[in-house]
Amino acid sequence: MIRQFGVAAGSVALCAVGIFVGRSPTAAVAQAREAQATCRPTCWQLRLYTIDRGKLDDFAQAWSRGVYPLRLKRGFQIPAAWSMPETNQFVWIVGYDGPETFAAKDSSYYASAERAALQPDPRPWIARAEKWFVTPVLSGPGAQDQLPVPPGAEASDHFDPVVATNAYLATVPPDKRARSDAYFEGGYWLILWNFLASAAVYLLLLGKGWSARMRDLAERVTGSKPLQTFLYWVQFLVVTAVLLFPLTVYQGFVREHQYGLATQTFGPWLGDQLKGLAVGVVLGGVFVIAIYGVVRRAPRSWWIWGSVVTVAFLMFSAMIAPVFILPLFNKYTKLEDARVKDPILSMARANGIPASEVYVVNASRQSTRVSANVSGFLGTERITLNDNLLNRCTLPEIESTMGHEMGHYVLNHVYKGTLFFGVLTVLGFAFLRGASGRALTRRGDAWRLRGVDDLAALPLFALLIAVYFFVLTPVTNTYIRTQEYEADIFGLNAAGQPDGEALIDLKLGDYRKLDPGPVEELIFFDHPSGRTRIYAAMRWKAEHLNSPLYGVPASSR
């Protein structure tokens, strides 16, 4: 039986502060005061009661119905209790991590009117009581102790999710908060500048006749339509990349370094940009060849078939990305550390995810950001955590993040997202057809464009697509943000680590404004803000303070 207990309690080491106490709790109180200093922040006490012969069942019943709920109500945590018929004993673990000492809290419990009113009172059946303070060795009950939970967010009998959320947010120093706000708000303007700059470049290509000249060149080089398309595409991509290069450097390099988020020097950064361009040449090339093939063959219904090709292409890209594209930029390795891997895989199995590996990406090559993701499609799905997350976070934080990523998987967000963006694509093509028709009638001659199937009209399409998605920014952000929130809720339930979640949310505050206004969040946020996410975690915590799952890592359930 004891062996069984040892296995079940798993993490709880029966440490050496063993003391013997009789029926009176006074000796234990004295000892508790002494031990208090050594077992902050949570005091865990293991209690072993020898029960009067024949009274074990009565005791267990009276304890579960009376003592257990009352202890929880008064702010104690009780992760485990067992009765041991072989020895006629009862064993349980009680913890407390509030502002008072364990001893004071325990005394006030015994002195309370509610305790005196317990019927039946199980205490007279205790023949002998032994109590030890214990320290968690592995993860397990009390693992959340390692987390720096701020005062105000600690479990207590007066826990308030709003107070707890504010307590977490208040741990971020004002200068750090100001920097993160400035970084993220700058991102709002970048949405506008990116739109205006690319629109200007496309209009330049059309208005100066450069696009028509690029087409003429492609036609002179080869008679093959697909090859002409590809040649035009390469010119288009290179010219736009060069013209937008200053903005790209500012946005992706200078600004990231200003805010301490980037780790790359200019050379490797530029290398990544060139690799990205090469991927754009190949993948984008295949795509435009397919689209122009469709436009030439179906002059009336091209917008419908174009939508189909686009969605199929997006699915194909998502499928090959983890295998062929992402490894061009980063190294993906299998996570070996069993202390991290085992709980993650256990959580995956518990949620019906057929994963046998967790991948780690060396994201620190480019940035200091903490992140994780689910990538892949139709069989190439995988869960990846980045090395910044692995290096900067505790297990509860990692579990919380992985629970979130598993949420994306279990809730089929990739497939739902494909459907959503599929609908947007069809609407977008309908818009393209109407708007490009009008633009060609008005400006076609001036821009030397022959029709919709003219390669030289590509900047016009690109311009219209940019307008379309710029206007839809709040819609797409809100769709994604809603999925992210769903994944948060899933992650809280799967990992049971509300404090891990809150701490991760604060780390994401390195690059995402923590406490925006509601309209700001609606328009600009593609993930919930720190406040929204921490509040969801604290609300979960408030409702699980008395649950046996709270604070128990997925690995130990």
CA neighbours closer than 13 Å in the CB half-sphere of residue 119:
1
Report 246-285 residues binding Zn ion (CB under 5 A). none
**Smallest distance, Å, CB 401 to Zn ion?**
9
State in angstroms the smallest separation of the CB of 390 from Zn ion: 17
Residues 425-454 that bind Zn ion (CB under 5 A): none
Residue 201 CB, nearest approach to Zn ion (Å): 32
Q: Which amino acid is at 180?
A: S
Closer residue to Zn ion in complex, CB, 397/484: 484
Nearest distance from residue 504's CB to Zn ion, in Å? 11
What length is written for the chain?
557
- Compute the least distance from the CB of residue 481 to Zn ion, in Å: 10
Alpha carbon distance 97, 541 (integer Å): 15
User: Of 291 and 534, which CB lies nearer to Zn ion in the complex structure?
Assistant: 534
Which residue, 430, 450, 464, is CA-closest to 211? 450
Q: How far is the CB of 402 from Zn ion (least distance, A)?
A: 11
Q: Which helix (H) or strand (E) holds 55?
A: none
Stretch that binds Zn ion, among 250-258, 261-269, 482-490, 535-543 (CB under 5 A): 482-490
Region binding Zn ion by CB under 5 A among candidate stretches 132-140, 340-348, 476-484, 528-536: 476-484
Piece of the chain touching Zn ion by CB under 5 A; list 66-74, 118-126, 447-455, 486-494:
486-494
Considering beta carbons, is residue 144 or 375 the nearer one to Zn ion? 375
Answer for the pair 134, 14: CB distance below 8 angstroms, yes or no: yes
- Closer of 486 and 520 to Zn ion (Cβ): 486
The answer to whether 50 and 127 have CB atoms below 8 angstroms apart is yes
Residues 6+ apart with CB under 8 A from 376: 318, 319, 321, 322, 382, 414
Residue closer to Zn ion, measured from CB, 215 or 413: 413
Residue placing its CB nearer to Zn ion in the complex, 324 or 415:
415
When the beta carbons of 140 and 530 are compared against Zn ion, the nearer one is 530
Task: Provide the token pair at 529.
Answer: 């803000």
Alpha-carbon gap, residue 491 to 540, rounded angstroms:
11
Looking at the Cβ atoms of 156 and 375, the one nearer to Zn ion is 375
Judged by CB under 5 A, which stretch of 201-209, 231-239, 262-270, 479-487 contacts Zn ion?
A: 479-487
Please identify, using beta-carbon distances, which residue of 97 and 484 lies nearer to Zn ion: 484
Residue 248: exposure state from Cβ atoms within 10 A (0-12, 13-18, ≥19): middle
Burial of 301 (0-12, 13-18, 19+ CB in 10 A): exposed
CA pair distance 411, 46, nearest whole angstrom: 40
Residue 372 CB, shortest distance to Zn ion, in Å, is: 8
Task: Measure the CA–CA gap between 450 and 294, rounded to whole angstroms.
Answer: 17
- Verify binding: residue 484, Zn ion, rule CB under 5 A: yes
Please name the residues in contact with 166: beta carbons below 8 A apart, sequence gap of 6 or more. 152
Tell me if 538 sits within 8 A of 505, measured CB to CB.
Answer: no
Least Cβ distance, residue 116 to Zn ion (angstroms): 51
Bridge partner list, 77? 95
Cβ 417 vs Cβ 358: under 8 Å: no
Our CB check for Zn ion shows the closer of 79 and 407 to be: 407
d(CA 533, CA 539): 10
Pairwise CA distance, residues 138 & 17, whole Å: 18
CB of 410 to Zn ion, least distance (A): 12
Q: Please report how close the Cβ of residue 404 comes to Zn ion at its closest, in angstroms.
A: 6
Confirm if 283 and 237 have CB atoms less than 8 A apart: no
Q: Do residues 361 and 331 touch, judged by C-beta distance below 8 A?
A: yes
Specify the stretch interacting with Zn ion by CB under 5 A; choose among 164-172, 247-255, 280-288, 477-485.
477-485
Alpha helices by DSSP H, listed for 128-254, are 161-169, 174-207, 210-221, 225-243, 245-249
- Per CB under 5 A, the segment of 55-63, 283-291, 459-467, 480-488 that binds Zn ion is 480-488
Q: How far is the CB of 454 from Zn ion (least distance, A)?
A: 41
Nearer to Zn ion among residue 12 and residue 487 (C-beta): 487
Closest CA to 474 of 408, 420, 419, 520: 520
Nearer to Zn ion, 75 or 528 (CB): 528
Least Å distance between CB 487 and Zn ion?
A: 5
Stretch that binds Zn ion, among 29-37, 226-234, 286-294, 487-495 (CB under 5 A): 487-495
Cα separation values, 474 from 191, 416, 518, 522, Å: 11, 18, 13, 7
| Binding segment (CB under 5 A) for Zn ion, from list 121-129, 430-438, 439-447, 485-493 | 485-493
Least Cβ distance, residue 197 to Zn ion (angstroms): 29
What is the size of the binding site for Zn ion (CB under 5 A)?
A: 2
- Is the CB of 80 or the CB of 402 nearer to Zn ion? 402
List interacting residues with Zn ion (CB under 5 A): 484, 487
